Amino acid sequence: MRNYLLIKVIIGLFLLGFISCDKADIRGMFFSYNYVNERFDQSMEWNDIHGFKQITTTDSVYKIYVMGDSHMGTDKNYNTFIFDAIEDSALAVVMNGDITSGRAKDVAIFEKKIPPQSTIESFLLVGNHDLYFDGWDEFYKRLGSSTYYFTVQTPQAIDLFICLDSGSGTLGYKQMNWLKNILKDRTLYRNCIVFTHCNFFRSRHTSSTNPNIEEIRTLLDLFLTHNINMVITGHDHKRSIEILGNTTYITMDALLDGHKHASYLKLSIGSSIHYDFEQL
């Protein structure tokens, strides 16, 4: 009985500390406020109005910078990431989820920090933290779709980039069917890279947003069948590289300020894809 009471006290103290944390949302640890199928429908409505981005470049080899898990808040590493991308004449930046805490004030601050389209293209994905505190409503209102694709036309070929919403730990059946339809035309493109937040190969245990095993198997088979070059994820805050068939699976370090191994990913894309981790 004494041990039982002690356990209850420990759990109570943990929960009290957890919910008092400015960055934590205990309800969001276990389920997202907006189901993924609902977010997918909204994203498709947004895409119908705004269309899909098609970028043209005269360069045979171009650069795309990728970051994840900035968790704004503070923005020192984010500012460095944007500055480096612009200085290096990158074609675009991709922000791979957990951009903010989900709090309305953080999303509003981040919106003001997105570089103008005339300077560099920005592509944003939703992560589980972006959904906390009812964050999807703010994300969608200010930043737009969480499921879409964009293409890059070079003098030699066209490359396809697919952005997926795994903020709830699952794509859902609607998004999965959309992805399968997009990949039917995979042979039209030289390279295909998929961006999504939740990683497939877990480098550390987390208490939230763990992907469904059967869905992972389906996606691994889909990416193998359609010769996807690269899948880039975040979520675990710990770098990992796995290769299955012709597909390279990259889990990025977090860009979070104060993170010991904070870094971002630099892609150089041409007839082949080269990548480097840039430590901050």
**Burial annotation 145-180 (CB, 10 A radius, 16+ → b, else e):** bbbbbbebebeeeebbbbbbbbbbbbbbebbbebbe
**52 and 6, same domain (yes or no):** no
Q: List the structure tokens of 244.
A: 């299955």
User: Which pLDDT score, from 0 to 100, does residue 9 have?
Assistant: 42
Is the per-residue pLDDT at 7 higher than 60? no
Q: What is the mean pLDDT of residues 30-47?
A: 83
**74 and 19, same domain (yes or no):** no
**229 and 147, same domain (yes or no):** yes
21-25, 95-99, 192-196: least confidently modelled range = 21-25
**91 and 132, same domain (yes or no):** yes
User: Which pLDDT score, from 0 to 100, does residue 8 have?
Assistant: 44
Percent pLDDT > 90 in the chain is 78
Is the per-residue pLDDT at 53 higher than 80? yes
17-31, 75-89, 251-265: least confidently modelled range = 17-31
* Dihedral angle, C-alpha 46, 179, 251, 76, nearest 10 °: -10
Spatial distance between the Cα atoms of 74 and 23, rounded to a whole number of angstroms: 12
- Average pLDDT along the chain: 88
**171 and 86, same domain (yes or no):** yes
DSSP for the chain reads: -HHHHHHHHHHHHHHHHHHHSTT--HHHHH--SS-HHHHHHHHHHHHHHH--EEEE-S-SSEEEEEE----BS--HHHHHHHHHHHHTT-SEEEEES--B-S-HHHHHHHHHHSPPTTT-EEEEE--HHHHGGGHHHHHHHHH--SSEEEEEE-SS-EEEEEE---TTS--HHHHHHHHHHHHTTGGG-S-EEEE-SS-SS-SS--SS-PPPHHHHHHHHHHHHHTT--EEEE-SSSS-EEEEETTEEEEEPPP--TT-TT-EEEEEEESSSEEEEEEE-
pLDDT band with cut points at 50, 70 and 90 for residue 181: very high
**153 and 35, same domain (yes or no):** yes
**6 and 130, same domain (yes or no):** no
Range of the domain at 23: 1-29
pLDDT band with cut points at 50, 70 and 90 for residue 2: low
**15 and 119, same domain (yes or no):** no
Give the residue with greater pLDDT, 47 vs 209: 47
Into how many domains does the chain fold?
A: 2
**108 and 239, same domain (yes or no):** yes
**159 and 253, same domain (yes or no):** yes
User: Which pLDDT score, from 0 to 100, does residue 74 have?
Assistant: 83
Assign residue 184 the CATH number of its domain: 3.60.21.10
**64 and 161, same domain (yes or no):** yes
Is the per-residue pLDDT at 275 higher than 90? yes
pLDDT digits (tens, 9 = 90+) for 115-173: 999 999 999 999 999 999 889 999 999 999 999 999 999 999 999 999 999 999 999 99
pLDDT band with cut points at 50, 70 and 90 for residue 11: very low
User: Which pLDDT score, from 0 to 100, does residue 14 have?
Assistant: 42
**8 and 75, same domain (yes or no):** no
Is the per-residue pLDDT at 195 higher than 50? yes
